[in-house]
Amino acid sequence: MISMTKTVYIKTVGCQMNVLDSEMVIADLKRHGYTVVDTPGEADLLLYNTCSIREQAEEKTYSALGKLKDTKARHPEKTIGVMGCMAQKDQETIFRRAPFVDMVVGPGQLHAIPEMLTKVTSGEGRQMAVSLGRKDGKQTVVARSHETFDPLRDPTMRPTPFQAYLRIQIGCDKFCTYCVVPNTRGPEQGRSPEEIVSEARVLADQGALEITLLGQTVNSYRHRGPDGETDMAGLLEQLHEIESLKRIKFVTNYPKDMTARLLETIRDLPKVSPYLHVPAQSGSDSVLKRMKRGYTIADYMEMFERIETILPEASVSSDFIVGFCGETDEDFQKSVQLIERCRFKNSFIFQYSVREGTKAAANLIDDVPREVKAARNNELLAVQDRISKEDNQKLIGDTVEVLVEGPSKKADKSDLDAPIVQMTGRTICDRIVVFDGNRRQAGQLMDIQIDDVSCHTLIGRVKTVEVVSLGMPGLAPSS
């Protein structure tokens, strides 16, 4: 058993999956006597939960690790661990680039961290725990090595106490040519609906009003059990029955699996958010083919028009990669045209970077100059920001229901006694709203009247309701 006086610092980068992984790791470490601290200097154990989707994310991690070299030299008793997708992808490379690192742990082996710590502290040297590669055995064996379905949860590690992530699926079998996820997260597999609903009840009992279901292609969710197959629509129907849950969201979606049945289920279940994040990645069929995305723009538009028909109030967001191998000016303009047509709520736009181990790295040439990628990124972002602001302006004067998350980043956090601070929250369609309020409103569902907007934010005020006196003794009009 690990000492009962140890402290841990954890730095998390990347997607919601990584945020959830960190929560579960901390929950496990607390069971073994660790307490969380806010700075590396206070910590006996320093953990870096990493991302491999983009080169920039990896280089930031290696830069952060480089700054720990002197710390480790001065305090050799400190333990340094690298976990997550970069750990699974780079493995021994991490030890070569940062030889003072003590542990490398892939996302499918996080349950092994306490045992690895025991070995490190007892003098057994560096430790590594990673999942099998896609070709290292039968698919069922490889899949088991990537399972991370640990029910341990730690509410203190969440961005707010009222919102929680819930993994329903891991891995991916799409094998897009630019993406490392099928290798770092393993084969696609869905959890049993019984486990998911049980964990959702735990989250609700812990105070979560909103849960966000996570999966690499979350709407592709399938689980076959003794009682038959459960799809995403069926899972939503089961989760909707949890009384204390108020909102259910899910990310990220795959275009070809956005079925009419799923959209009708979202329409018919009031708690389910009509916010759909459906990455397009490009507006060009030739680029999509080189990406091996598995659909054409005609397929994407068929899906989009299905959303417009069945769920017209939905807000749809997207992802785009600019500067992918062979992307011409004409290809890029088709991405501009797609954003103009679909008028996404927002789009996450990235410049392509070569990822070692992908098909694109092996078979395609990264032939778009860096300055062209940057220019296309800025142009596409400007188009999206203009559309986002135009559509947000249509909401001025409307009243929206907001789940209040807490003080905004711009709020004066130093004055905790200030009666009025800028608060922030989100609508059920995932639009960010800020308003003047007080800290006690965190965790409440409130009606906010929208007075102004930016491309990313709605700006409003708490809607007040006038109460008219009926002439009863002691009852006066108020608002």
- Assign residue 377 the CATH number of its domain: 3.80.30.20
Residues 382 and 235 in one domain: yes
Distance of CA 422 to the CA centre of its chain: 25
Whether residue 404 lies inside any domain: the answer is yes
Residues 427 and 280 in one domain: no
In this prediction, residue 466 carries a pLDDT of: 62
Domain that holds residue 212: 144-392
Residues 6+ apart with CB under 8 A from 30: 36, 154
- Assign residue 455 the CATH number of its domain: 2.40.50
In this prediction, residue 138 carries a pLDDT of: 65
- Assign residue 91 the CATH number of its domain: 3.40.50.12160
**For the chain, how many structural domains are there in total?**
3
Pick from 341, 369, 392: which residue ends a domain?
Answer: 392
Residue ranges at the known binding site for [4Fe-4S] cluster: 15, 51, 85, 172, 176, 179
Pick from 98, 114, 137: which residue ends a domain?
Answer: 137
Whether residue 479 lies inside any domain: the answer is no
Whether residue 472 lies inside any domain: the answer is no
Residues 62 and 100 in one domain: yes
Residues 11 and 118 in one domain: yes
Residues 173 and 236 in one domain: yes
Pick from 91, 112, 137: which residue ends a domain?
Answer: 137
Entry pTM: 0.88
State the Cα torsion 252-256-257-260 to the nearest 10°: 120
Beta strand pairing status for 315-322 and 347-351? Answer: parallel
Whether residue 77 lies inside any domain: the answer is yes
Contact at 8 Å (CB) between 79 and 71? no
Whether residue 361 lies inside any domain: the answer is yes
Whether residue 385 lies inside any domain: the answer is yes
Residue identified by tokens 């200030």 is: 418
Residues 195 and 244 in one domain: yes
Residues 334 and 291 in one domain: yes
Instruction: Enter the tokens of residue 237.
Output: 């129907």
Residue ranges at the known binding site: 15, 51, 85, 172, 176, 179
Whether residue 202 lies inside any domain: the answer is yes
Whether residue 122 lies inside any domain: the answer is yes
Residues 115 and 167 in one domain: no
Residues 16 and 60 in one domain: yes
Bridge partners (DSSP) of residue 4 are none
Q: What is the pLDDT along the chain (479 residues), one digit of tens a residue?
A: 444 579 999 999 988 888 999 999 999 999 999 999 999 999 999 999 999 888 888 888 999 999 999 999 999 999 999 999 999 999 999 999 999 999 999 998 999 999 999 999 999 999 999 887 666 666 665 556 556 656 578 888 888 999 999 999 989 999 999 999 888 888 899 999 999 999 999 999 999 999 999 999 999 999 998 889 999 999 999 999 999 999 999 999 999 999 999 999 999 999 999 999 999 999 999 999 999 999 999 999 999 999 999 999 999 999 999 999 999 999 999 999 999 999 999 999 999 999 988 999 999 999 999 999 999 999 999 999 999 999 999 999 999 999 999 999 887 565 667 889 999 999 999 999 999 999 999 999 999 999 999 999 999 999 986 655 555 454 444 43
Contact at 8 Å (CB) between 215 and 167? yes
Residues 173 and 220 in one domain: yes
In this prediction, residue 413 carries a pLDDT of: 62
Residues 423 and 371 in one domain: no
Residues 174 and 239 in one domain: yes
Residues 6+ apart with CB under 8 A from 155: 161, 164, 206, 207, 208
Distance of CA 101 to the CA centre of its chain: 27
